[in-house]
Amino acid sequence: MCGIVAYIGKKDAYPIIIKGLKRLEYRGYDSAGVALFNGDLNVYKKKGKVNDLVSFVKGKNLSGNVGIGHTRWATHGEPNDINAHPHTSDDGRLTIIHNGIIENYATLKEALIKEGHTFTSDTDTEVLVHLIGALQDKDNLELEEAVRIALSQVVGAYAIVVLDRNDPTKLVAARKASPLVLGIGQDEFFLASDATPLVGYTSQVVYLNDEEIAVVSNDGTFEIKTIDNEIQTPFIQLLNMNIEKLEKGNYEHFMLKEIYEQPNTIADCMRGRVNAAAGWLKMGGIEEQEERIFNAKRFIMAACGTSWHAALIGEYLFEELARIPVEVEYASELRYRNPIINKDDVVIALSQSGETADTMAALELAKDKGALIYGIVNSVGSSISRITDSGSYIHAGPEIGVASTKAFTGQVTALTLMAIYMGYKRGTIPKSYYHQLLEGLEKIPAKVKEALECDKQVKELAKKFINTNHTLYLGRGYNFPIALEGALKLKEISYIHAEGYPAAEMKHGPIALIDENMPVVVIATNKSAYEKIVSNIQEVKARKGIVIAIVTKGDEEISKIADYTIEIPDTEEPFTPLLSVIPLQLLSYHIALARGCNVDQPRNLAKSVTVE
């Protein structure tokens, strides 16, 4: 959470920083701020979105070839102008931007107050800039040395950039457990929470490692050291990202664009991995660690939010197709409950951003316990993708809408490929079924496109539910995690309370909620347990609930009893979630839109949850 951008070079820093902050706004949008140096230091900050900052600074001095900027997701201190970053040291000499949490800020603050420091904000970050300033003043230290010593006293997570008014020829940056990318241009440098602000300026990047400090100067030189003062040889990588992927194009919102991208992103995830005509399916990530993966006694999948729902589908897929026991864990629970993890376990982390703090911590724990760790990640070069022993990128491209859509189907696609690959090799999938699955897989992008054709119908339907306060989502088997995902999508962007349940669990409690005002979305595709789900719909109707059923194309039985039916194409049962989630994504989008909600930037949320 929080996005940081900094620039030093020969160009005007302000437009680069603002453009970068807009690209990072998915990480938080409680307030935004910039500090620019041009003979003097100008700091501007404002509660609200980056555009509020842009309006606020109109007519002000925005010149300078060096600057830092921040977009905030509030942790310590409410979202207001004062708590907005950048923060400054007592004498205004240093300014800092920070993503993360300084956990021991209270102790440090107390000591600094005793030394005579005064604080203006409620943030943990302000403590850090005072501490760096105090160390610098005390022993007349170079900024990088003061930063290094200060960070060795800090407990917590940080990605920071510090600008010194007395030496604006350089910026000092550092990271631990929060991401930071360094972009190297021609006699210029960019620092950012992810690589998107760099696109269009440079394609040479260095992903900083934990406890590394970078000093970048306006003479085109830079140096990376560890917090223990050891000089590092930077690993410069080429960035492969284009501008179209970062813009909305003709769509009104990123979320809608990302929903519509799914036929392509699913195809991209399968590209080079599946060839039905030649009869093969490859997963490089598994091949790299084949022995440990095939000898694993158990798979543990750890994730948060939507990625956790994808993991649940993974459990169904792995157990059915590859006959491997799977446990699915909330990463936040796994990391703190002293779990039993052995050397012959494989722990799979699923994460769109590759930066989720709880997922990272769960992986580190699993690594310490000797398990093989595997990542299913979207964001290339992210922290999770770099600490795993092996993994599979989902190749969905940047996902900017806070509500995850194409990353979810990418994760499910990757899990599906893994399950089929392992099942076939382990002999749990017969050859004929294997070929049927490969052929079925290749048809999925076209079927997702067909499923998207329900958009108009869903838009009309959405109008009927804009004033609803609660919604129930029910599904069985592969469609149970889809019920959870449909409910999460609705609540996070429309603020309507929604719950997902296994359909058969309804009668163990939630049925009490059903009356003529309760919309119940039932994912009732025509495969195993079809009769059971028909009975569940009857039970809802008997209590006058309003049933919106997601059915397989051509289904005639359910349309007779449901109030509304939305059809999706038929497919092999393990691929159903890739299609059944589409109308639910659209439903939440249209309901939220009709309620006037900010679809791409829902309240209180940030896309990348880099704090606990």
Nearer to ligand M6R, 448 or 490 (CB): 490
User: The tokens 């210029």 sit on which residue?
Assistant: 188
Nearer to ligand M6R, 178 or 351 (CB): 351
Report angle CA 549, 552, 556 to the nearest 5 degrees: 75
Contacts of 535 (CB under 8 A, 6+ apart): none
Kindly state the smallest distance separating residue 329's Cβ from ligand M6R, in Å. 13
- Take residue 229 and report the two structure tokens written for it: 């003062």
Nearer to ligand M6R, 144 or 358 (CB): 358
| Active-site residue identified among 2, 269, 454, 597 | 2
Q: Tell me, residue by residue from 581 to 610, as one string, x for binding to ligand M6R by CB under 6 A and - for no binding.
A: ---------------------------xx-
What φ, ψ does residue 326 adopt, rounded to 5°? -130, 140
In angstroms, the Cα distances linking 27 to 192, 258, 491, 501, 541 are 12, 17, 19, 30, 42
208, 214 contact by CB (below 8 A): yes
Handedness of CA 148, 152, 154, 157 (dihedral sign): positive
Nearer to ligand M6R, 308 or 318 (CB): 308
Question: Across the chain, how many H-helices and E-strands are there?
Answer: 20, 27
d(CA 237, CA 244): 21
| β-bridge pairing 189-192 and 3-8 | antiparallel
| β-bridge pairing 156-164 and 94-102 | antiparallel
Q: Tell me, residue by residue from 444 to 483, as one string, x for binding to ligand M6R by CB under 6 A and - for no binding.
A: ----------------------------------------
Kindly state the smallest distance separating residue 428's Cβ from ligand M6R, in Å. 29
Residue at shortest CB range from ligand M6R: 305
517, 532 contact by CB (below 8 A): no
Does 307 participate in binding ligand M6R (rule CB under 6 A)? yes
Does 258 participate in binding ligand M6R (rule CB under 6 A)? no
Q: Which stretch binds ligand M6R (CB under 6 A): 53-61, 367-375, 396-404, 439-447?
A: 396-404
Beta strands in 438-560 (DSSP E): 470-475, 497-502, 519-524, 546-552
Does 392 participate in binding ligand M6R (rule CB under 6 A)? no
447 has catalytic annotation: no
Q: Which stretch binds ligand M6R (CB under 6 A): 191-199, 303-311, 452-460, 560-568?
A: 303-311
Q: Which of residues 332-361 bind ligand M6R (CB under 6 A)?
A: 351-353, 356, 359
Nearer to ligand M6R, 31 or 353 (CB): 353
Nearer to ligand M6R, 180 or 402 (CB): 402
| β-bridge pairing 519-524 and 546-552 | parallel
Kindly state the smallest distance separating residue 584's Cβ from ligand M6R, in Å. 12
Does 304 participate in binding ligand M6R (rule CB under 6 A)? yes
Does 385 participate in binding ligand M6R (rule CB under 6 A)? no
Does 492 participate in binding ligand M6R (rule CB under 6 A)? yes
| Active-site residue identified among 19, 45, 527, 607 | 607
Does 262 participate in binding ligand M6R (rule CB under 6 A)? no
| β-bridge pairing 345-351 and 326-330 | unpaired
Contacts of 467 (CB under 8 A, 6+ apart): none
Does 178 participate in binding ligand M6R (rule CB under 6 A)? no
22 has catalytic annotation: no
Does 306 participate in binding ligand M6R (rule CB under 6 A)? yes
Question: What is the DSSP code string of 35-90?
Answer: EEESSSEEEEEEES-HHHHHHHTTTS----SEEEEEEE--SSS-SSTTTSSPEE-T
Residues of this chain that bind ligand M6R (CB under 6 A): 304-307, 351-353, 356, 359, 402-404, 488, 492, 608-609
Question: Which sequence positions are flagged as catalytic?
Answer: 2, 607
